[in-house]
Amino acid sequence: MAGEFGEQKDWLWRNPDPKPSYDMLVIGGGGHGLATAYYLAKQHGITNIAVLEKGWLAGGNMARNTTIIRSNYLWDESAAIYEFSLKEWERLPGELDYDFLFSQRGVLNLAHTLQDVRDSIRRVGANQLNGVDGEWLEPDEVAKVCPIVNVSPEVRYPVLGATFQPRAGIAKHDHVAWALARALDSMGVDLIQNCEVTGFALSTSSTSGARRVVGVETTRGRIDAGVIGLTSAGHSSVLAAKAGFRLPVQSHPLQALVSELYQPVHPTVVMSNHVHVYVSQAHKGELVMGAGVDSYNGYGQRGSFHVIEHQMAAALELFPIFGTARLLRTWGGIVDVSPDASPIIGPTPVDNLFVNCGWGTGGFKATPGAGFAMAHTMATGEAHELNRPFGLERFVSGALIDEHGAAAVAH
Amino acid sequence: MLLLTCPWCGPRDETEYHYGGEAHVPYPEDPSALSDQQWAEYLFYRDNPSGLFAERWSHSGGCRRWFNVVRDTRTYAVHAVYTAADPRPEIEVNP
């Protein structure tokens, strides 16, 4: 295979066949799966592990998101894990010796109604108490940060101000995946692509009746492991069903799009909850835009056109300059949305089987934090303080972390 | 854009409808008798299959009535439309 590509020799990772058994398995070779394996190997010294990916590495939501990184969430539990992630985004490129093109150009979250303004100012206060950088900007200050935003009071939903987190930004998602994959490979971790998990091998205790995972069935044969982590985003429910339990998530299509390449016009990231679009300009020059999920459950990696139309209308109201821009490409990913729009990281009803899911529309920014917390949980059997509030038990106890709306964007 | 056929109004664009999630989830007969775990399952847990899914839609931009649809969540093809009073129709599952 390699020969077909002529001169290229420096492959970043091997393409090994699966071994019959490992200490641990991570199911899903996206950003979160790679990050989980990375912290297992780097932080906990567990390197006899494999990442199983049904397609190719980082070809799911990792290749389909809008790469926005920020930590300006309202609730303490969310701010903790997203701010941890942001600090890792600042640190990891050095440790991995790989430029993520992490550009800390800041994010503006626009407010268009009096309630938006009140919620935004409250969130800035909460952020500052949690050590997350952020400030409230009046419309004229918004225009200084991003001159192409229309702050005219004449539009249907005028910009009444915005929160600004200067340390937020965007990164190159492929670089993140390649950097992690290269590091994992060099530590001896097997990255196994084209390997779909088709079932779980479970053993049932004759005394307690508890079920424990001992391995998986895959399209490339049976693989045994003592501990298994599910990091499969939109397909988490499908895999959980194979292991005999349900998760409180629903999978929806989430669409995004890019324009053709333009000269730099957009210096930051702009998100609007109310007219509902988020926009940045990628390093190459495409305007990258996204918005909310399609309403219905779907695994088709595509959604309905009217959702795109709605987000274009929002983009044009905020950025009249985009009126002459041309669409290059739209796509969809499958996001698993939880009832409180917060993730689920922790044990499952099956012993030794852990899950990291429910990130919904916001998983990319959390890649390092999710991987760190999941690896800690898999390695020690105990939740880290970062993910202790994010277990499945919160849906029974009622201790929800309700980021719907609070998170500065509608999900 | 989905094209859904309201049982009362006929075929209309998806934008006339509002999604209601999984169908056939009855309110518990005796809610106070449920354990916290059972209440959590009623409140927060829904099936999420990749394949045929029975779901609720409301014709919110038309007659405002609720009805059920069996739709394939992989292809988005609609296999059946029926009223909330009807049982879920048997449909051959395509592999």
pLDDT in tens, chain A (411 residues): 555 656 666 789 999 999 999 999 999 999 999 999 999 999 999 999 999 999 999 999 999 999 999 999 999 999 999 999 999 999 999 999 999 999 999 999 999 999 999 999 999 999 999 999 999 999 999 999 999 999 999 999 999 999 999 999 999 999 999 999 999 999 999 999 999 999 999 999 999 999 999 999 999 999 999 999 999 999 999 999 999 999 999 999 999 999 999 999 999 999 998 888 999 999 999 999 998 899 999 999 899 999 999 999 999 999 999 999 999 999 999 999 999 999 999 999 999 999 999 999 999 999 999 999 999 999 999 999 999 999 999 999 999 999 886 655 554
B14 closest CB neighbour out of A249, A300, A304 = A304
pTM for the predicted model, two decimal places:
0.96
Q: Is B3 on the interface with A (CB under 8 A)?
A: no
Q: Which amino acid is at A5?
A: F
Per-residue confidence (pLDDT) for residue A291, from 0 to 100 = 86
Q: Is B4 on the interface with A (CB under 8 A)?
A: no
Mutate to test the interface with A, among B50, B52, B56 (most CBs of A within 10 A): B50
Across the interface, whether the CB atoms of A296 and B19 are under 8 A apart is answered: yes
Q: Which amino acid is at A269?
A: V
Residue A219 CA: distances (Å) to CA of A17, A354, A355, A402 = 12, 21, 21, 38
Residues 6+ apart with CB under 8 A from A204: A210, A211, A212
Per-residue confidence (pLDDT) for residue A5, from 0 to 100 = 59
Report the distance separating Cα A41 and Cα A43, nearest Å: 6
Report the distance separating Cα A232 and Cα A31, nearest Å: 10
The B residues from 49 to 88 touching A (CB cutoff 8 Å) are: 49-50, 53, 55, 71, 73-76
3-class SS of residue B13: strand
A248: chain B residues, CB-CB within 8 Å: 40, 44-46
Q: Is B28 on the interface with A (CB under 8 A)?
A: no
Across the interface, whether the CB atoms of A238 and B49 are under 8 A apart is answered: yes
Mutate to test the interface with B, among A297, A302, A337, A401 (most CBs of B within 10 A): A297
Widest CA span of chain A, in angstroms? 71
> Quick one: tokens of B77?
């093809």
Mutate to test the interface with B, among A299, A335, A344 (most CBs of B within 10 A): A299
Per-residue confidence (pLDDT) for residue A411, from 0 to 100 = 45
Across the interface, whether the CB atoms of A249 and B48 are under 8 A apart is answered: yes
Residues A137 and A162 sit within 8 Å (Cβ to Cβ): yes
Count of CB contacts below 8 A, A vs B?
67
3-class SS of residue A394: helix
Per-residue confidence (pLDDT) for residue A390, from 0 to 100 = 98
B48 closest CB neighbour out of A297, A339, A397 = A297
Residues A357 and A336 sit within 8 Å (Cβ to Cβ): yes
Buried b (16+ CB within 10 A) or exposed e, B55-92: bbbbbeeeeeeebbbbbbbbebeebebbeeeeeeeeee
Burial-class residue A62 by CB neighbours within 10 Å (0-12, 13-18, 19+): buried
Q: Is B37 on the interface with A (CB under 8 A)?
A: yes
Residues A217 and A201 sit within 8 Å (Cβ to Cβ): yes
> Quick one: tokens of A201?
């091998």
Residue of B nearest to A299 (CA): B74
B14 closest CB neighbour out of A238, A299, A306 = A306
Per-residue confidence (pLDDT) for residue A404, from 0 to 100 = 82
Burial-class residue B30 by CB neighbours within 10 Å (0-12, 13-18, 19+): exposed
Residues A72 and A134 sit within 8 Å (Cβ to Cβ): yes
**Angle CA(A176)–CA(A69)–CA(A195) in degrees, nearest 5?**
40
**Angle CA(A247)–CA(A248)–CA(A253) in degrees, nearest 5?**
95
pLDDT in tens, B69-86: 999 999 999 999 999 999
Across the interface, whether the CB atoms of B1 and A251 are under 8 A apart is answered: no
Across the interface, whether the CB atoms of A306 and B1 are under 8 A apart is answered: yes
pLDDT in tens, B20-71: 999 999 999 999 999 999 999 999 999 999 999 999 999 999 999 999 999 9
Please name the helix (run of DSSP H) or strand (run of DSSP E) that holds residue A119, with its range, or none: helix A114-129
A305: chain B residues, CB-CB within 8 Å: 1
Residue A63 DSSP class = G
